[in-house]
Amino acid sequence: MSIDYTGHCAFPKGGAQRRIDYLRRTRPDWYPDMHNLTDAQDLGRFDAEIAREFGIEALCIFNIFLLNKDWLEESREAVEFVYEVFGTEKLVITYGMDSIRAPLRDYPGVAV
């Protein structure tokens, strides 16, 4: 069973990558030990359209892959932290590319 998330991000690729690097530096126990957090990627053929359906004008995407399903409970906090760093106005996280993994609350984002 694969558990993966896609971050649809309204930051340009460089801004998203700075936040991804911040996540990795701040929580090495979560990224990469618990999750494979990919680098920011250019949008694919239909990524912008998919993101619009989720209410965001994405400029790039990234993925978060849970490495062991036994860590699912702990993973919730790690995925929430991604929202905290990016801010809820600039990020929508989906799973399976068709369902939103909504944040528990609104976050302004972290200046990095």
Residue 64 lies in a domain: yes
Residue 59 CB partners (closer than 8 Å, separation 6+): 9, 10, 11, 12, 13, 16, 43
Per residue in 14-23, pLDDT (tens digit) is 999 999 999 9
pLDDT digits (tens, 9 = 90+) for 23-38: 999 999 999 999 999 9
Residue 43 belongs to some domain of the structure: yes
Residue 106 lies inside a defined structural domain of this protein: no
**In-domain check, residue 110:** no
Q: Is residue 62 part of a domain?
A: yes
Peptide bond into 28 cis (omega under 30): no
Residue 108 lies in a domain: no
